[in-house]
Structure 1
Amino acid sequence: MFELSYPWLLLLIILPLFLKKRKQDSGSALTLPALARLAGKQQQRPGWKRHVATLPQALIWLMLVLAACQPRWLGEPITLPQQGRDLMLAIDLSGSMDMNDMVLDGQSMNRLAAVKLVVGDFIEQRKGDRLGLILFADAAYQQTPLTYDLATVQSFLDDSQLKLVGQRTAIGEAIGLAVKRLNKYETSNKVLILLSDGANNAGNIQPLEALQLAKAAGIKVYTVGVGAEQMVQQTIFGRRTVNPSQDLDEQLLNHIASESGGRYFRARNLAELAQIYRLLDQLEPISRDNLTYRPQHSLLHWPLAVALLLSFALALRRINWRRLYEPAG
């Protein structure tokens, strides 16, 4: 559909007629001989020829007025997703996330690399959802607020580094910060997905205190405990099997999830971690008001181009007239 942004500017079309009438009323006359002769020639022409002679100027003015109105073409209405989730991700960056107890295609990788791999796929599937990212270790930091810009969330997750914000684990501060940020939004479904591989041993807010804040704000907390339960290590006395997740406080994570209405998941390997995020994908979406928009394409350049071409043509014509009336020799 064609539309003018400022249609009232079309009134400027009659401005030259008004100015011409005022000039006639003032009794002004041409004084330059060459222009006077040219004007005499114009007066001697039939009426239709005079109108044809002024047609280029009229078209130029019409095109300029049309450009000032900012014409544009509106495409078909596009409806945005009516359903979506508001999810805040909290990812542990403590030193223990460097443990190489995750395996992919026979190759071991550390826990953070596995989380980036799986959570990256989770983020990619969040079309229509708002997603935020919190990173925590000695303290918690918000990397992105809730946003539809999933590419930015993915970029900040990819750029996260171990020991970026310390070595320890501040679970309470991560929950507290998530509550503070989610409270800014008037939504019926506020969800925090917290992933950690250790126990709370840092921060100024205790996890149970943060849990009460989350419950008061109506925020569901889904917790994920990551890390293998068995790992073979080579020592000077030979190979031995150890539990690399002995510091994981499953009791705390389970309590936080159940008390807030969420659920606790255990991820011992990449397959379990991927399955957890597939289950999280089934969280009940929330309803939002219908949002539609129409793509807009500016047509401003077309009338300006026509006005420019006509101006060049008129200038060339005036040059020919000038040469015709220049005195010989």
Structure 2
Amino acid sequence: MIHFAWPWMLLFLPLPWLIRHGLPAAKPRGDALFLPFAARVSAGGATSLPTPSKTRWLLLSLVWLLTVVASTRPQWLGDPLPVPTTGRRLMLAVDVSGSMMTRDMAGNATRLDVVQAVAGDFISHRHGDQVGLILFGTRPYLQAPLTTDLNTVDQFLQQSVIGIAGTQTAIGDAIGLAIKRMRERKDGAKTPGEMVLVLLTDGGNDAGLMDPIAAAKMAADSGLRIYTIGVGAAGQQGILGASGNNALDEDTLKSIAQITKGEYFRATDADALGQVYARIDKMEPSAGREQWYRPHSEWFLWPLALALLFSLPAVVKREKDEQ
């Protein structure tokens, strides 16, 4: 759309008319009179100046109009674009082990289905933050690095598949990967902002190289705050088989949260999980409202060029009128 940056410049449009009709005629001072057109003044007496023709007045008016329009700075505004801002660095670590296939939280939906729906809504409200995603099972994988592109992170979460990282649960390794990816950028420089990890699992640590408590101590030393969420309906723990580790280790999750000055939450159904994420959203508010930028291109050169173009025949017309 077209936009005028300085529309108040249109107030100068009637200025030539006001000067012509509002100011008194200049009075001669002394006897000296400079006449650059003296050759065309008759010897018997001074003649009146030639009256500008209607064509010349039209050209001059058009030149003035185009000059004023150019002074309003006409611009063409493009589509709004989001402006990346840096606030918290928030990483989501989601358990995708075999036990997340259990359907005990919302009808026929698996635990992962519920997490994808609730966590996806949580991600969409983190405007101004850098959000990343880790999927972990037997091994942790960085699915989405820290970014302000929330739609991409949500898309990666929705595309996650149970068992993609193995059927076991490596909580300690997931925390270790989060520490590594959140402390430094690709160029090795430390980044500002608070570091927060939201770790969600339905089992206990039974895989990986790093002990969860040791990993939590490393996270605390790094300034990483961890919120742990245990999911799964009550009475489903204690089953270990093809579906993977389904024995929720609440004591370990509570210890991780306590060591890192975070908090542990228990979610037995979809509503409870939604309340958990809503509470985390209040405890760790996003950096701010989403900001937008509209790219623009200046168009004042066009009316200015036309004004210059029409001024040429106005000068030529003046010469003809004075002959």
Shorter-chain TM-score tier: 0.5 to 0.7
TM-score, with structure 2 as normaliser: 0.61
Q: Is the 8 A contact 1:229 1:243 kept in 2?
A: no
After TM superposition, the structure 1 = structure 2 runs for residues 16-27 of structure 1, keeping only pairs within 5 Å, are: none
TM-score, with structure 1 as normaliser: 0.60
Structure 2, unpaired ranges of 5+: 6-73, 185-189, 240-244, 310-323
Structure 1 residues 150 and 81: alpha-carbon distance in aligned structure 2, compared to 1, 3 A threshold? closer
**One-letter amino acid of the structure 2 residue matched with residue 96 of structure 1:** S
1:141 aligned onto 2:150: no
2:192 is aligned to 187
Which of 64, 88, 91 aligns to 2:94? It is: 91
2:256 is aligned to 256
**One-letter amino acid of the structure 1 residue matched with residue 207 of structure 2:** A
Query: Which structure shows the bigger proportion of residues in helix conformation?
Result: 1
1:220 aligned onto 2:225: yes
User: SS where residue 203 of structure 1 aligns?
Assistant: coil
2:216 is aligned to 211
CA-based RMSD of the aligned residues comes to 4.0
- How much has 1:181 moved relative to structure 2? 1.0
Q: Percent identity between the aligned chains?
A: 44
Q: Is the 8 A contact 2:202 2:230 kept in 1?
A: yes
User: SS where residue 108 of structure 1 aligns?
Assistant: coil
Q: How big is each residue's C-alpha offset from its partner over 1:12-41, in whole Å with a ceiling of 9 and x where there is no partner?
A: xxxxxxxxxxxxxxxxxxxxxxxxxxxxxx
After TM superposition, the structure 1 = structure 2 runs for residues 48-127 of structure 1, keeping only pairs within 5 Å, are: 84-103=87-106, 107-127=107-127
Structure 1 residues 292 and 264: alpha-carbon distance in aligned structure 2, compared to 1, 3 A threshold? closer
Query: Which structure shows the bigger proportion of residues in strand conformation?
Result: 1
CA distance in 1, matches of 2:118, 2:285: 21
Aligned length: 234
1:297 is aligned to 296
- How much has 1:284 moved relative to structure 2? 3.9
1:280 aligned onto 2:264: no
Which one is further off, 124-133 or 170-179? 124-133
1:176 aligned onto 2:181: no
Q: Is the 8 A contact 1:228 1:243 kept in 2?
A: no
1:156 aligned onto 2:156: yes
Q: Is the 8 A contact 2:171 2:205 kept in 1?
A: yes
CA distance in 1, matches of 2:150, 2:281: 15
CA distance in 1, matches of 2:192, 2:85: 14
CA distance in 2, matches of 1:210, 1:264: 16
Structure 1 residues 268 and 291: alpha-carbon distance in aligned structure 2, compared to 1, 3 A threshold? closer
1:35 is aligned to none
Q: How big is each residue's C-alpha offset from its partner over 1:136-186, in whole Å with a ceiling of 9 and x where there is no partner?
A: 111111111111111000110011001111111110110001001110152
CA distance in 1, matches of 2:261, 2:125: 24
Q: How big is each residue's C-alpha offset from its partner over 1:115-153, in whole Å with a ceiling of 9 and x where there is no partner?
A: 111111111222222211000111111111111111000
User: SS where residue 276 of structure 1 aligns?
Assistant: helix
- How much has 1:72 moved relative to structure 2? 6.4
